[in-house]
Amino acid sequence: MEVFTEGALYRNTIENLESAAKLISLNRNVMERLRYPRRAIVVSIPVRMDDNKVRIFPGYRVQHNQTLGPFKGGLRYHPHVNLSEVGALAVLMTFKNSLMGLPLGGAKGGVKVDPSSLSKTELEHLTRRFTTELGPFIGPDKDIPAPDVGTDSQIMAWMLDTYSMESGFSQTGVVTGKPVEIGGSRGRESATGLGVVYVADRALQVLGKNLNESSFAIQGFGKVGMHAAIEAYALGAKVEAVSDISGCLYKESGINIANLVRYVQENKVIQGFPEAEVISPEELLTLDVDVLAPCALDGVLNENNADQVRAKVIVEGANGPTNVAANQILHKKGCMVVPDILANGGGVVVSYFEWVQDIVWLFWTEEEVRSKLREIMFRAFDQVWEFSQKNNQDMRTAAMATSLLRLEKAMKLRGQAW
């Protein structure tokens, strides 16, 4: 099991788990079972490239816990994917699904690859072979993958098609995040970003502020950050800064997000957008705004920059953007950090909606999806906020504790702990 603890994200995740477990006097046997995944699948994925040469890509699927229901979690394609990172994200998915009140366990997967370096044909071959290798371990009642960093609805469509061909009939519930035309849910693409904004709205409310009078800085302008910016802007918030891999933009009076989205659709990146000034990515993290939403990769807020953060609320759209040391510093400063397992739960909530719709073959309108998502996000936030206030704890510890209490009860009922 040492392979998992080699990574900082895994160690950070387990440190948060231990802190919350101590607070609620978690059953020792439950703690031991949650410390490590139930199953880790490592595969080699041979792909015949366009030049007719075969390359081998390492692939992973870590299934952490399924006490509450089938495993559920995304698949990422990224050059830095490794078993420890995937394991940590699988643990976080277990806690996220529990916190959101979903009947799902936690899993995560990925392939060590730069998807932008592959042709569409190569990407399809990679995806189909990866699906075949995972075939015995996934399924609508076993493990349901979804998109993550570097993957999208097209990749989910290829996975669905491959799995269905090999099982002999169509099984739309094997993955979520699919195109609407083949069983996907309306509202899925924007769900994680929308959930970030719903949580920010509720956090501002308990602090006596209104969303439409608040300012945002959003790190990342991809599938999460862009939709968070779109929703915040649509609801009247002032989005002062955004960033992506190409750079960082700032405008004190607020960026016109509708214009920026059109610019990115044409130019792929935010660099060169004429309606805002350029600042450094480090400056974005320290702007004097009401809400800072880190929606890129992990570890961006740490002991080296946490003291300089001036935002009143941090809403973690990414997984693990704030390390343990930074979380403690921010809490002492009076900054509310809404942790990833709560803040970015909108994606898995709507994935759950999609899975349910596929099972019963009854599909909802986008308005119904948004309304149901808002209800679940508000309810989860209120439970965590109530625990944090009652026990004088930061929101991260409170979220983990709230999640663990549900898991502990379920594991005891099933006879998994004594």
**Of 36, 58, 37, 63, which is closest to residue 46 (Cα–Cα)?**
58
Nearby residues of 355 by Cβ (< 8 Å), 6 or more positions away: 72, 140, 144, 173, 176
390: confidence class by pLDDT, cuts 50, 70, 90: very high
R_g over Cα of the chain:
21
Q: Do 37-169 and 191-334 share a fold?
A: yes
Place of tokens 């700032």: 250
DSSP assignment of 243-282, as one string?
Answer: EETTEEEE-TT---HHHHHHHHHHHSSSTT-TTSEEE-HH
What pLDDT, on the 0 to 100 scale, is given for residue 376?
97
297: confidence class by pLDDT, cuts 50, 70, 90: confident
1: confidence class by pLDDT, cuts 50, 70, 90: low
Establish whether 209 is a catalytic residue: no
pLDDT tens profile 117-134: 999 999 999 999 999 999
Indicate the fold that domain 37-169 takes in CATH.
Rossmann fold (3.40.50)
**One of 108, 223, 238, 251 is an active-site residue; which one?**
108
- Mean pLDDT along residues 274-295: 96
Q: Which residues partner with 60 through β-bridges?
A: 42, 110
Flag whether pLDDT at 16 surpasses 90.
no
Q: What is the mean pLDDT of the chain?
A: 95
Q: Where are the domains of the chain?
A: 37-169, 191-334
What pLDDT, on the 0 to 100 scale, is given for residue 295?
95
Task: Say if residues 371 and 347 touch (Cβ distance below 8 Å).
Answer: no
pTM of the entire structure? Answer: 0.91
Q: Domain 191-334 is of which CATH architecture? A: 3-Layer(aba) Sandwich (3.40)
- Mean pLDDT along residues 341-354: 95
H or E segment to which residue 71 belongs? strand 71-78
